[in-house]
Every structure is written in structure tokens, then in C-alpha cells.
Amino acid sequence: MAGRRLVYSGGADGGGGSNMNTFLLQNQRVPESLFFSGSSPSFLGSRSMVSFEDFNGCKRPERQFFQSFDQEENVDEEYDEYLHQPEKKRRLSADQVQFLEKSFVEENKLEPERKVQLAKDLGLQPRQVAIWFQNRRARWKTKQLEKDYGALESSYNSLKADYDSLLKETEKLKSEVLLLTDKVLLKQKQKGNMDPSDSNQQLLAQPQGSVDSVMPSNQEDHSSAKSDVLDSDSPHYIEGGHSPLQEPGDSSYVLEPDQSDLSQDEEDNLSKNPLPSTEYVFPKVEHDYPTPPTNSSYFGFPVEDQTFGFWPYY
């Protein structure tokens, strides 16, 4: 049985001359006191805690943990009394803990020799030292997890903020594109019966935002709308000049620097290359993603847009 292991059952012994270190096989179903070895008259039976109190249960004035226990007097009487005390768990002294902490900082794993040495130095059972290290490792791990969690959380928060602002910017640019598209379309319509030199004034006079979401798919079109949208910082930017607005297979479209207004050249181009009859439907930027498994574990990130490389599970 795996749970059956060698467990110390020592008494208030510091590893000195009257060595009360006694090991026994502890098993839940068998009273501890039935298992003991050694013939020391000081054997403490079922005591499983190392005491730093005297046998009457009163706290000693911080016994030095390296003190020899040989000097104990009236051991037999006190031991007798001690035997009839209810079993109690006792904390290590501040000195002992400090010593152990120091040792833990040096190396958080405990080789057998070091364990024995520490136990000797501290007047503890080796098993106690091992348990202390084990518990200390568990505490350290918990702290580490909290730290890692905090770091991940703040990293996630900043990424999400970035993502949100990009989303906003995308929306803004999208509406800008629509606006400019409207202008272009209106201009095209008026092109036939208007003097080109007057076009800018006419454009300025146009009512805005009243036209359907249509985009010219003209390959020669270098309108500012496209160059605005296809910013290299944009998540939709495609290296090599391929626009998300392009038709599949179209490789001739080249990104241009920002042109916030229509120039004379553009007007000329537009007059040379009238808009084709086919309409381009502006691609939806959001809500085109599959529904996430759950909202709570998902934080609103699109499934296909896991650019952060991990799923936030918390």
C-alpha cells in the first residue's frame, strides 16, 4: 500500500544523547503506539510532534534549537506526564523557520544529507524538515501561480485595449471609406454634364452619407479611400499590395500614399476610366466570425482573430 510509509514518531528530542528519535511504520488502521522500535527508555510512544514546549505544555523561553538535550533533568517524570497529554501540533520557533527559510532560498529541494544536517542543526526530525520543505514548496508554487496570473492578466488587458482601439479605428476608417465612395460616385454621375474644373466645389456641396455601401472595383482607381483603409498598421493590411477590397485574382492594385482629397490627376483618371457596372460590397469587418463557445471564456475575441496566440481561460 502506497500510503503506508515510514513516519517519524519522535518526542521532544533534539537529536542529542538521549536520542528519542524513533521511526515506525504508520498505518491509519493500526494504532501508532503498537509500532515502535528502539529500546530507549525515553521513547515517546504515539507522540508524533516535536515539542518545543516543556512537558507541561508551557512554552519555553525560546529554546535554542541547537541546544543539547542531554541536559534535561527529571526526564522520566516529565516523560510520564508528557505521555498522558493529548497530542498537539506545535509550530516551529521563529529561529527555526528563519533557518529553514534561508536554506530554502539556497535550494528548494532537499537531498538526504542536507535534510539530516538541517534536522540536526535545528533539533528536528528529518521528516519534519522534509515536510516543512514540501509545504514551503507548495506555498512558493501558489505564490508563483498568483504572480503568473497577474502578469498574464495585465498582458491580456493591454492586448485587449489594443484590440479594442484597432476595432474602433477600423470602424472609423470604414465609415470614412463609405463617405468617400459616395463622393466618388456622385462625382461620376455629374461628370457627364459638368465642367471638370468645377468638380471640387461641387463635391464640397454634396450631401453626405446617403448612398448605398458600394465600392468601385476599378483596378486603376487610386482613391484616398483605399489608401486610408490599407494602412500597414491595420490588421487587414496585406503585404504586397493586395487589398481586401480587391477582387480575387487581381494583382495589379498598388497601394498609394494617403491622398485625402481628389486631385486633378484623379479626376482625369476617373474620366478616362469610368466606374464599372459591377458593384463591390464592402466586406464586413465584424460579426463575420463563428460564435464563440461561451462568452465568459472568450472575452469577445473573434475565433479567427486569435492573434494573441492564447485563449483567455480566466
Partner DNA sequence: TTGTGTTTTATTGCCTCC
Partner DNA sequence: GGAGGCAATAAAACACAA
**Phi-psi group of 309: left, alpha or beta (phi > 0 → left; psi -120 to 50 → alpha; rest → beta):** left
Task: Output 91 or 284, the one with its CB closest to DNA.
Answer: 91
Task: Output 88 or 189, the one with its CB closest to DNA.
Answer: 88
Distance from C-alpha of 7 to C-alpha of 26, rounded to nearest angstrom: 6
**Could you tell me the smallest distance in angstroms from the CB atom of residue 138 to DNA?**
5
Using only C-alpha atoms, what is the Rg of the chain?
A: 40
Cα separation of the two ends of the chain: 38
Instruction: Tell which positions 163-202 bind DNA, by CB under 7 A.
Output: none
56 binds DNA (CB under 7 A): no
Residue 274 · residue 190 · CB < 8 Å: no
From 43-51, 61-69, 76-84, 286-294, give the range in contact with DNA by CB under 7 A.
Answer: 43-51
Task: Output 68 or 134, the one with its CB closest to DNA.
Answer: 134
138 binds DNA (CB under 7 A): yes
Instruction: Determine which residue in the list 22, 128, 181, 224 makes contact with DNA, applying CB under 7 A.
Output: 128
Burial track 130-141 (b if 16+ CB lie within 10 A, e otherwise):
bebbeebeeeee
Cell readout for 228 is 486610408
Task: Output 117 or 200, the one with its CB closest to DNA.
Answer: 117
Residues 86-125: x where in contact with DNA by CB under 7 A, - otherwise, as a string = -xxxxxx----x-----------xx-x-------------
Task: Output 90 or 189, the one with its CB closest to DNA.
Answer: 90
Task: Output 84 or 89, the one with its CB closest to DNA.
Answer: 89
60 binds DNA (CB under 7 A): no
Sequence-distant (≥ 6) Cβ neighbours of residue 235 within 8 angstroms:
166, 170, 305, 307
Residue 273 · residue 218 · CB < 8 Å: yes
Residue 60 · residue 53 · CB < 8 Å: yes
Cα atoms in the Cβ-side hemisphere of radius 13 Å centred on 258: 8
Residues 61-90: x where in contact with DNA by CB under 7 A, - otherwise, as a string = --------------------------xxxx
Axis crossing angle, helix 94-106 with helix 112-122, rounded to the nearest 10 = 160
Distance from C-alpha of 270 to C-alpha of 232, rounded to nearest angstrom: 26
137 binds DNA (CB under 7 A): yes
**Could you tell me the smallest distance in angstroms from the CB atom of residue 104 to DNA?**
11
Sequence-distant (≥ 6) Cβ neighbours of residue 148 within 8 angstroms:
none
**Could you tell me the smallest distance in angstroms from the CB atom of residue 308 to DNA?**
27
Residues 223-252: x where in contact with DNA by CB under 7 A, - otherwise, as a string = ------------------------------
Contact residues toward DNA (CB under 7 A) are 1-3, 5-9, 26, 28, 48-50, 87-92, 97, 109-110, 112, 127-128, 130-132, 134-135, 137-139, 141
